[in-house]
A and B are shown apart, each in its own frame.
Chain A
Amino acid sequence: GQQLNQSPQSMFIQEGEDVSMNCTSSSIFNTWLWYKQDPGEGPVLLIALYKAGELTSNGRLTAQFGITRKDSFLNISASIPSDVGIYFCAGLMSSNTGKLIFGQGTTLQVKP
């Protein structure tokens, strides 16, 4: 089935460092979503992007909708220990009744 390529698969960084991750596809998406999943919990929506080129922030998190509409990026600035978790991208190709396509996730570990 349709897939999103999310990278990197995992990251181990020092507290205070900035983090970047991305999702790419061969298909065009109309909406990009970014989620965070804490251990033992369900994914929580962080940011939603609706237009090509859109840049949206949520605290220390900033996400961008790629201008080709085939990719999206998430940056975390000045990481802290509670940023630990799995980050997922998700894309919606067509209408709001379409299926969400998920990336495989980026596992982030932060060393205090």
Chain B
Amino acid sequence: NAGVTQTPKFQVLKTGQSMTLQCAQDMNHEYMSWYRQDPGMGLRLIHYSVGAGITDQGEVPNGYNVSRSTTEDFPLRLLSAAPSQTSVYFCASRDGALEFFGPGTRLTVL
């Protein structure tokens, strides 16, 4: 099993650009999440999904969209990037109470 995979690992955007952060898992987990990690802020939940076709907002959803068309994939879309979205983004999938994280995408918005 590859576990949770994320692409790209690094990305630089200009303000106003859009992009999609990819996330995939091969563990057949129903529950997937997106977090952002900023210095001193810990991990903050952006969006999550309890299964294909179902998504919901987390703590900091503004400026981000998600969709869940398959169990395996959970992409995160930035509609119009802003400098405040400079962060490290982690995707995770859950087995029961156990959440497993991907390696992260480090995003810089200029």
- Give the B-binding residues of A (Cβ under 8 A): 1, 30-31, 33, 35, 40-45, 48, 50, 88, 90, 92, 96-97, 99-100, 102-105
Query: Chain B nearest CB: distance from A40 CB in Å?
Result: 8
- Give the A-binding residues of B (Cβ under 8 A): 4, 31, 33, 40-43, 45, 48, 50, 58-59, 90, 94, 96-104
Question: Can you give 11 contacting A-B residue pairs, CB < 8 Å?
Answer: A40-B104, A42-B102, A44-B101, A45-B98, A96-B94, A97-B50, A99-B45, A99-B48, A99-B58, A100-B33, A100-B45
- Classify the interface of chain A: helix, strand, loop or mixed: loop
Q: Which residues of A contact B33 (CB under 8 A)?
A: 100
Q: Could you tell me the distance between the alpha carbons of A35 and B99 in the complex, rounded to whole angstroms?
A: 10
Q: Which residues of A contact B103 (CB under 8 A)?
A: 41-42
Question: Does A102 lie within 8 Å of B48, measured CB to CB?
Answer: no
Q: Could you tell me the distance between the alpha carbons of A37 and B21 in the complex, rounded to whole angstroms?
A: 21
